Each structure stands twice: as structure tokens, then as C-alpha cells.
Amino acid sequence: MRLGAVVTVSLLVGGAGGYLLRVYQDSVVPEKWHETAQMPLVGPNSGLSYSTEAMFDSDIPLPAIANVSAKAKFRPSSDGANKVTLGYVVVVTVENLKAENIPDGYKVPKTERVGKAGELTLLPPKEVVYEMHLSFTLKDKDGFDLAVVNGKQHSLLSGQSNVLQDLIDDALPQEVAQRTTAIVPHLSVDKCVTCR
């Protein structure tokens, strides 16, 4: 009789301990930074794309993107228990705008009327600004896609290293964060802001 009671108590304690361990593991958000590999900027696996507007409707071309580095990490979400959000820091280095790539119409100051404020003189641009956004593919240990999440709009300025940092708005299940072993960024250039 005593052996049966010991076995029963052991099973109950073991089961409760296993349950509590699982609950604890489910509540832990992995907070390590996921450093991404060097993002290819050309070729079939390129992490860079341009919208039709950026490619064909922009009269000032975006200079070459020299380098993109990224890191991301999961943060507890305000959307409730067992939800996380992705935070990221991406550095995009864009080369300088060459003077010969600026169309003649931009090379002289231009005066525009701005409502009741009067006239505004626009000086010739020395660099160009494009609007872009990021997306991130979350992958598991076998390389399968777990989720794709979209970042916010950012401005990309030529002639500098642009530091883009934000949190993704969409919350993800915590299980996705726990299974994620790689985060792959994708940069999408949307439109020229400097272009008229």
C-alpha cells in the first residue's frame, strides 16, 4: 500500500512539476538579438526591391545602396499574454547623389507659393530622399517560413548611413518567437520624396 501511495504522489508531483515547467517556458520571451547575415543587394536572393513608382516615375535616381545590416529581437507585446512583437535596428548605407544624376530642372532654385504663408524657395538638392519600408521573414531551424511581418515607413537619405529602428505593430504568438532561429530582412523602396 505504501509503495502505491509513493508512486501516486511521485506521479502527481512530477506531473505538476512538468506542467509548471511548461507554463514557465511558454511565458519566456526570447530576448536575444538575431543578427542577420549580410543582405544580398543583387541577384535572385536579393533582399532589395523597388516599386514601379520608384523605378519608373522618379526622375532623380536613388544612388546605389552600399550596405545593409540588420538585427532584430522579440519584445513582450501589450496585446496580452503569450504575444510578442518584433523590434529591429537596420542600418542602410546609401552612396552620395552625383551631380550629373540631378535633372536640369532641379539645378536652379524654384519658388513655390505655400498657402497663406507666402512663397518658398526650393534650393537645388544635393542629396535625394526616398520612402521605403521593411519586412522580415521569421524562419525555423529547418529554414521554413514561420511568418512574415511588415515594418513601418522610413525615409532613406542618400549620402549617409540611415539608422532605422522601430517595433512592428502586429503581435505574434509567443510560440513563433520561440521557434524562430533566423530573421531575414527585406527592404522595399517605395517612392522618391525629393522628386517633383
Between the CA of residue 86 and those of 27, 107, 119, 154, 174, what are the distances in Å? 16, 42, 44, 16, 11
Output the pLDDT for position 173. Answer: 94
Alpha-carbon span 48 to 177, nearest angstrom:
24
The residue type at 100: E
For residues 130 and 192, is the Cβ–Cβ distance under 8 A? Answer: yes
pLDDT of 78:
84
CA atoms within a 13 Å half-sphere pointing along the CA-CB vector of 119: 6
CB neighbours (10 Å) of residue 11?
Answer: 10
What are the average pLDDT values for consecutive 10-residue runs of the chain, which has 196 residues?
Answer: 64 57 51 81 88 94 94 89 92 96 90 84 92 95 96 96 95 94 94 91
Say which DSSP state 175 is in.
H
**Look-up: residue for cell 550596405?**
67
Torsion of CA 73, 153, 104, 101, to 10 degrees: 20
Strand pairing category for 145-157 and 129-139: antiparallel
